[in-house]
Every structure is written in structure tokens, then in C-alpha cells.
Structure 1
Amino acid sequence: MRTSSLTGALERELEHLILTGELKPGERLNEIQLSARFGTSRGPLREATRSLQAKGLVDAIRNRGVFVRSISPKEALEIYDIRAALFGLAGRLLTDLVTDAMLARLNEYLVEMDEIAQERDFDRYYPLNLEFHDFLIRSTNNSMLAREYQSLVNKLHLCRARGLVQAGGLAVSNHEHREMVDALASGNRERAQEAFFRHVERSKQRFTTTLGK
């Protein structure tokens, strides 16, 4: 395997470990253990961690090593604000692009998430929730928006809390999703932008209630 391909594969593997929480915020990336785990030398591993540092997922501390980044509550709240603005823009853009097929797919997501919400199954709801949002962002066909939005979401993974369950329930979150889809179906740009923006603002409020717990 070419070094660049190996580095990219290692980057994806490490990113997965970080975003799923197997490597926790503040945890040091042990090069010896990771090299043994992935069956590779430490050179490509270091290249991969440099890419993760550029993404804001790890911090390199001189003479100490590389650590999974910890996001402070203040930084998380600022990320939510920027994410709300970008997501609102996505809603506005989508009103000009929405199709019957897209609406049908979105409604399939809503039905499935409603069923999971009734069971209060966070571990099933959370990845589907991410997939729903990713589908919306990708459907804008705006690669720069998608890249910046995903970067913000990745950072929020580092401080994610089960606020959806603790502060109102999964059904509340999915009700907001339905408001967004209804706004898209209306074809009203301002309504869609507001619905998308408000959803992230409410997510921020749910996150805020988990602080200090």
C-alpha cells in the first residue's frame, strides 16, 4: 500500500475511534500500542495524527505527545452558534433544490426515528440522527458548506452529552426534524431557514442544561 493511502486509512481509523468515544477526550494516543494494533510503523501514524490535528480533533503537546482534544463548554456553545448559522443557510438553499424523492426519503427517516424515540434508545437514535442531518447537508450540493459543517459536528462529538434524553427526550428532537421537513415542503426559504436555525439553537439549549451535571 502506498504511504499516502496508508496514512489516509490510518487517519480514518483514528478518527472513527475518536468520534465513537473509544479514544476519549484528553486521552493520549499511544504510538506503540496503535502501531501494533494497525500493524504499521510509527511514521505513517504520525502523519495521520498531524492531519487529525489540522481537523481540530487532537492536540500535539511538545515533549508530552498527542492527545484527543477536549472541547470546553464555552467553545462548544460558540460552535453551536456557528453551526446554527450554517444549518439555517442549508435550509434556505434546499428550498430551491427539494424534490418529491428527497421529501420521501426525509419522511422515511422521520418515521424510523419516531419508532426509535418511543423506545428511548439513544444508541440507535444518535447515528440515525447524524445520518439525517448529513443527508440534508449533502443535498445542498455545496461542498464548502458540507466541509465546514462536518468540521463543527466533529468537534461537538468531543464533548457530546446525552442531552437529548436528559433534557426533553428524543421525540422532541424528532418533532423539530418534522418542522424542518414541513418547512422545506412549503417552498418558503425564510421559513426553512428559521426552522433549521431554530433546531440547532434548541440543541444548544439542551446541551446547556447538561452542563454541571
Structure 2
Amino acid sequence: MQEPTSKRLNQTSMQARVAEELRQMIISGELAPRSSLSEMALSETFGVSRTPIREALKQLQTEGLVEVRPRVGTFVAVPSRRDLTELFQMKELLEGAAARLLAFRGNVPELELLQANMRAADEVVRAGDAERYAELVHEFHDLIVAGADNGKLEAHYRTLMNQLAFTRLVRTSLSRPGRLSESDNEHHRVLNLILAKDGDGAERVMREHVRLSHQALMAEIDERQGYGTNGV
């Protein structure tokens, strides 16, 4: 006998809520890489049955955030060095294209927001507040992608950012000596080219910025005890 429509919709809603909350916990680092994800424990945490938990974990596995090891358990995924390199290569392509598209759009609302973001970033860099700067980095890149006004590009970008757990990785890269001010300067160069409507220059400098961020991240990972080739 088929389940009532209202019950199926309720289960779908619960699954979506659980998936979104777990996704954010992984991306933010609240659930650390390699953390065990017990269906029973999560069921108690979220106050739902194990069915929406199981379906949510399947969804996050598809997104690359969760790893299922048969007969062992389910864990927060740890990207390998190859995974990180491939994801950053895609990030470079998408964000470079976004910067180019935004430069050609003219005076759109995102430009004013980007300038406000840079003013705030300059202040926190002077204060040495890496935690707040990491939040502003996320906002800066989001605004450029949103400002490109390309739904397909943005959809691929959101999936990519989830797989990277980008906020956590930014904090890691900013641990490198001098990286805070270097990153801020790179953002200024990108924005100046966008404001000058230099699409070619904006794309080139944005791609260079992403490569430098990747290099800083990998250098920091290499120096941290217990990281190395198995990921972060």
C-alpha cells in the first residue's frame, strides 16, 4: 500500500533539513574530517527517525562530503591531495569566468557590496583578525559569482564549494605567515580590474589568486603534523 502523500512530503522535508544542517556542520568544521557519523546518534540529535538520516547521508555522499565504508561505518570525507588539486582547478576556471562576466555587466549592485567588503577586509587585516577575514573572503568570492549573473555557473560553483568545505580550507591557508595581507591585496587587484571593466585582466588575476590560495593551502597542510598525503 502506497504511503499517503503528506507523509512522503514530510519525510522529504525532514531529509532536506537534516542534509542541509549536516552539510553546514561539515563545511564549517563543526564536524571535523574523519568524524564518525552514526545514524542512531544523528537520529537522536535531530529528533527524527533513521530513514531521513540515512537518505540525507546518501545525498551528502553524492556531494562528496561523506564517505561510506562498507562494514566499517560512515565518516566525514577527507579530500586527498589529488581531490584538492582538481577542485581548485575547477574553482579557478569558474571564478575566473565569473570575474570576467561581472566586469562586462557595468554598474550592478554587487559592485557596491564588493567595495564595502574590501573596506571591511582592510580593517580586519590591519587588526590581524584572520577568523573574520576568512568570513569576508567567502563573501567576496560569493559576490563575484552572484554578480556574474549566470545561473548554471553559480549552481556548479555552489556544489564545488560544498565539496571543498571552503570556509575550513580558507582558515588553513590564512595560517601561512603573510598570507592575510597577500590575499587582501590580491582581492584589491581583482576588484580594481572589474571596476575598470577589464574582463580579460579580471579573469587572469582572479585565476592567479585562486592558484596562490591553493599553493598556500598545500604548503600549510604539508607542515601540519598528521596531514600529508591523506588529505586534510
Shorter-chain TM-score above 0.5: yes
For the 8 Å contact 1:7–1:47, the answer to whether it is kept is: yes
Give 2:156's match in structure 1, choosing from 139, 148, 153: 148
Q: Distance in 2 between matches of 1:33 and 1:100?
A: 47
Cα distance in structure 1, aligned partners of 2:14 and 2:196: 47
Match of 1:108 in 2: 116
Partner in structure 2 of residue 199 of structure 1: 209
Which whole-Å deviations, capped at 9, do the CAs of 1:103-127 have from their partners, x for residues lacking one?
A: 2221100010111111222221112
Q: From 200, 204, 213, give the equivalent of 1:190.
A: 200
Classify the secondary structure of the residue corresponding to 2:68.
strand
Report the identity percentage.
Answer: 31
**1:162 maps to amino acid:** T
Residues 100 and 40 from structure 1, CA distance in 2 versus in 1: closer, same or farther, beyond 3 angstroms?
closer
Counterpart secondary structure, 1:184: helix
Gaps of 5+ in 2: 1-8, 224-232
Deviation of 1:19 after TM superposition, in Å, equals: 0.9
- Could you say what the CA RMSD is over the residues aligned between the two structures, in angstroms? 1.7
Distance change (3 Å), C-alpha of 1:64 and 1:83: same
User: CA–CA distance in 2 between the matches of 1:148 and 1:136?
Assistant: 14
- 2:91 maps to 1:97: no
User: Which residue matches 2:187?
Assistant: 177
Q: 1:91 and 1:124 mapped to 2: Cα distance?
A: 23
Aligned structure 1 segments of 4 or more residues deviating by more than 3 angstroms? none
Conserved? CA contact 2:179–2:216, under 8 Å: no
Question: Across the two proteins, how many residue pairs are aligned to each other?
Answer: 213
**Letter of the 1:55 counterpart:** E
Amino acid across the alignment from 1:85: L
1:4 is matched with 12
- Contact kept? 1:83, 1:149, Cα under 8 Å: yes
SS of aligned partner of 1:166:
coil
**How far off is 1:59 after superposition?**
1.2
Tell me what 2:229 maps to. none
Amino acid at match of 1:191: G
Per-residue CA deviation, residues 62-105 of structure 1 (Å, 9 max, x unaligned), is 12222111111232122212211111111111122131543222
Which residue of structure 2 aligns with residue 163 of structure 1?
173
Residue 52 (structure 1) aligned with residue 54 (structure 2): no
Q: Does 1:15 align with 2:15?
A: no
CA distance in 2, matches of 1:188, 1:211: 35
1:52-91 superposed matches below 5 A:
52-91=60-99
